[in-house]
């Protein structure tokens, strides 16, 4: 694949730039790249020219920690566009902030302006705040699902290792009813959350250990990657499976399928329940834990203080436990090097889903995983049911791409199905693609663009393209008062499902119709802006329309 460094492409040298500790990357329906930077900035980049525009810059309000030439795992993190973008011209962002000396995270919504937003006041709508965060294992990935919910990942905050060795690991905890009432979310460490667009708890969230909360899954170490499967046109669809990549300790990075209410094992299990290398050495259980020096490596590569509770993986049988679809890598021997750069891990940083069934041969239904330590994008092809991985032509279930000495923080796929965009870390180390210098990064703070230049399959117009929508459906009158008429072509599979949303994402009307022409009563709704979403009988979205109801 051909490579270019997009941020160095602008013709005028003064317009060239480097990213400042980037975290999130989104390829938007407006054919722009949206990027969040830990220092508190959101930028929008033209994927052809590389020119950028600052959308948000609230650095003074963001808790960002650096230490010498390295940075910590706080700052501005997950970024996602509103599910109705560009009809609703806004985005959601997660960032760390200082709360009376304690680092927390808030998720907020900002409407896009024609200037750079530099202040929170009057611009920010808080969705939820007081979420746990810290200098290690904050995770911080934020996406929306086809169910129009926010999904946000939180790690275990580095509990039980290094300088935080005496902090108890809370990945198995759930909040009490009193804590939820007080909006005390400290027990959300080591979880993936599912959140309504207004910050409330979805009514259909799972009950975990007797409590319904924002928790969707639990028992995670550092789940810094989330993605839903797409259909053959790279579109969301209801019922899509959710996948995550997660950092292991000194072994066993994971790819998981996330299922509501399930337990992913940490800190009792790392990877599979196989008693290979990993033991849960619970430093916080040791008397006078803080009097012992911090370990120089992960707990399984260190000697625990006297009195520490130590458990093998098979010592604990967790209910509702789910094991990884794949690990990177489970040791085959009884020992490892216990050196970060040579331990059997790859440090996954993000995952993307490749759904196109009409572009790169053999790639449809694949997971792409970018990595930090190995500087590689792994491709794994899912089985037809999405529950396992299948062998590729190379005889393995994985293939490596773009391998060089860069820390690949996030990856996005262009709408053409052959362009791939990767943002790279500004600082850090890799293990090198060979035995190269681990301190050398080729492209610091960069946007790398790779374009597939091999044979492609034929491509069709995506049916959710706003220009294509008008070929399939007419929606009138706009503005509406008492009713809306929907007129669709006969070749649209029936029944048609419709959902009418207000601007905060709540469903105000829903239903189905087997007719080509039908009406939706709106007389009981207040005046304002609404979004109508239509799905066909195959549960594929084929139209989204902004509506105004005026009385």
Residues with catalytic roles: 137
| Distance in angstroms (rounded) separating the CA atoms of residues 93 and 36 | 8
Encode 498-549 in three state secondary structure. Answer: EEEECCCCCEEEEEEECCCEEEEECCCCCCEEEEEEEECCCCEEEEEEEEEE
Spatial distance between the Cα atoms of 3 and 454, rounded to a whole number of angstroms: 14
Which residues neighbour 298 within 8 Å (Cβ) at sequence distance 6 or greater? Answer: 161, 249, 250, 343
User: Which DSSP string corresponds to 255-273?
Assistant: EEEE-TT-B--TTT-SSSS
Report the alpha-carbon distance of residue 445 to residue 458 in Å, rounded.
Answer: 35
- Secondary structure percentages of the chain, helix, strand, coil, to 5: 5, 35, 55
Q: Report the C-alpha gap between 142 and 224 in whole angstroms.
A: 9
Which tokens go with 290? 């803080």
**Contact (Cβ atoms closer than 8 angstroms) between residue 291 and residue 307:** no
DSSP annotation of 9: -
DSSP 200-238: PPPTTPPEETTEESSEEEE--S---EEEE---TTS--BT
Give how far Cα 435 sits from Cα of 199, 401, 404, Å.
48, 18, 11
Report the candidate in 21, 25, 8 with the shortest Cα–Cα distance to residue 426: 21
CA atoms within 13 A on the CB side of 455: 3
Phi, psi of 414 (to 5 degrees): -70, 160
């Amino acid at each position: 694949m051909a490579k270019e460094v997009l941020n160095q492409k602008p013709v005028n040298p003064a317009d060239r730039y480097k990213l400042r500790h980037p975290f999130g990357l989104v390829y938007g329906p407006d054919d722009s790249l949206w990027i969040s930077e830990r220092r508190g900035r959101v930028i929008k980049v033209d994927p052809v020219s590389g020119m950028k525009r600052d959308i948000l810059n609230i650095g003074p309000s963001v808790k960002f920690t650096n230490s010498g030439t390295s940075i910590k795992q706080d700052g501005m993190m997950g970024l996602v566009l509103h599910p109705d973008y560009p009809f609703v011209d806004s985005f959601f962002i997660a960032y760390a902030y200082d709360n009376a000396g304690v680092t927390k995270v808030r998720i907020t919504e900002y409407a896009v302006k024609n200037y750079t937003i530099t202040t929170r006041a009057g611009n920010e709508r808080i969705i939820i705040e007081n979420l746990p965060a810290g200098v290690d294992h904050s995770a911080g990935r934020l996406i929306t699902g086809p169910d129009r919910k926010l999904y946000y990942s939180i790690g275990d905050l580095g509990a039980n290792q290094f300088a935080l060795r005496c902090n108890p690991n809370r990945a198995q905890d759930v909040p009490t009813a009193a804590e939820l009432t007080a909006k005390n979310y400290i027990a959300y460490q080591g979880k993936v959350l599912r959140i309504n667009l207004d910050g409330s708890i979805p009514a259909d969230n799972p009950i975990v250990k007797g409590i319904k909360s924002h928790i969707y899954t639990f028992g995670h170490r550092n789940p810094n990657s989330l993605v839903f499967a797409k259909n053959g046109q790279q579109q969301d669809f209801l019922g899509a499976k959710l996948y995550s990549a997660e950092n292991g300790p000194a072994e066993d990075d994971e790819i998981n399928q996330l299922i509501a209410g399930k337990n992913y094992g940490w800190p009792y299990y790392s990877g599979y329940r196989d008693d290979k290398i990993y033991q849960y050495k619970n430093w916080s259980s040791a008397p006078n834990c803080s009097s012992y020096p911090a370990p120089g490596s992960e707990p399984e590569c260190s000697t625990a203080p006297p009195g520490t509770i130590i458990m093998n993986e098979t010592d604990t049988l967790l209910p509702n436990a789910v094991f990884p679809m794949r690990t990177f890598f489970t040791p085959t021997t009884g020992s490892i090097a216990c050196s970060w750069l040579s331990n059997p891990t790859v440090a996954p940083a993000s995952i993307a889903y490749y759904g196109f069934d009409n572009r790169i041969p053999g790639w449809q239904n694949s997971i792409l995983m970018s990595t930090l330590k190995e500087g590689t994008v792994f491709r794994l092809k899912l089985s037809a049911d999405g529950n396992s991985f299948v062998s590729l032509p190379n005889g393995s279930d994985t293939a490596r791409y773009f391998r060089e000495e860069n820390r690949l923080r996030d990856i996005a796929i262009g709408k053409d199905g052959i362009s791939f965009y990767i943002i790279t870390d500004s600082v850090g180390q890799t293990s090198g693609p060979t035995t190269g210098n681990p301190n050398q990064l080729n492209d610091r703070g960069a946007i790398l663009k790779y374009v597939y230049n091999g044979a492609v399959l034929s491509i069709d117009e995506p049916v959710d393209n706003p220009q294509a929508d008008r070929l399939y459906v007419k929606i009138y009158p706009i503005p509406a008062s008492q009713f809306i008429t929907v007129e669709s072509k006969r070749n649209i599979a029936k029944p048609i499902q419709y959902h009418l949303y207000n601007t905060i994402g709540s469903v105000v009307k829903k239903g189905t119709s087997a007719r080509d022409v039908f009406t939706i009563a709106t007389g009981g709704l207040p005046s304002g802006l609404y979004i109508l979403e239509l799905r066909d009988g195959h549960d594929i979205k084929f139209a989204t329309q902004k509506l105004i109801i005026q009385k």
